[in-house]
A = this chain, B = another copy of it.
């Protein structure tokens, strides 16, 4: 079994269509490459109770939870409080973080900026070469900022701790209507029930009509199923095969 992860994006600006999120798709790609299975992504407003409820549910269901956004100094930055409530702990002003903020802001450290030192009790901090401020981890919840450049730097500082056995993927591109291919796929699944099998039609692509993906953490299982499908496809429909992992 792969380790499972959930993602909580906190952001009115995403829901109101002002910006397009880039963090979830980045994280899905990275985590998949590390062998981790993302099971859910949720985008919710900057509201404490909604964040608490969602993070609580995900922290119980999944091995890893990542939040993005809502960690700045303004009124709408309520992620830390939401995560604290989710885990049933207090928010607490950490003296080490206060010291770091004093070094960064040199005499201009007001109450708003001190908010950045408030974290859920029991949090641990992960420093990284490219980080001005450490990543904050509360139990199994990784609290990351919404700004994509900093989100990525913080994830980079954490990434090796998530590495798991890799997924193996074989993509088979065919020129065959999905409605006809469906019969082949259903039969394939009865012979290889533990396979992750996906079917993605293209309606506007001149190269192929359907991409079929066969996936598993067991490389042999993918190879056997791919050979099986390729042997049974009608002549002339295969466009190409891609194998990764």
Binding site for B on A (CB under 8 A): 12-21, 24-25, 28-33, 37-45, 72-76, 105, 108, 110-113, 147, 149-150, 167, 178-183, 185-186, 189, 196-204, 213, 215
User: Nearest CB to that of A29 among chain B residues?
Assistant: B17
Residues of B within 8 A of A28 (CB): 14-17
B42, A40: Cβ atoms under 8 Å? Answer: yes
Residues of B within 8 A of A186 (CB): 74-75, 112
A38, B16: Cβ atoms under 8 Å? Answer: yes
Residues of B within 8 A of A182 (CB): 73-75, 110, 112-113
Residues of B within 8 A of A203 (CB): 147, 149-150
B72, A12: Cβ atoms under 8 Å? Answer: no
User: Nearest CB to that of A46 among chain B residues?
Assistant: B198
Residues of B within 8 A of A29 (CB): 17
A112, B183: Cβ atoms under 8 Å? Answer: yes
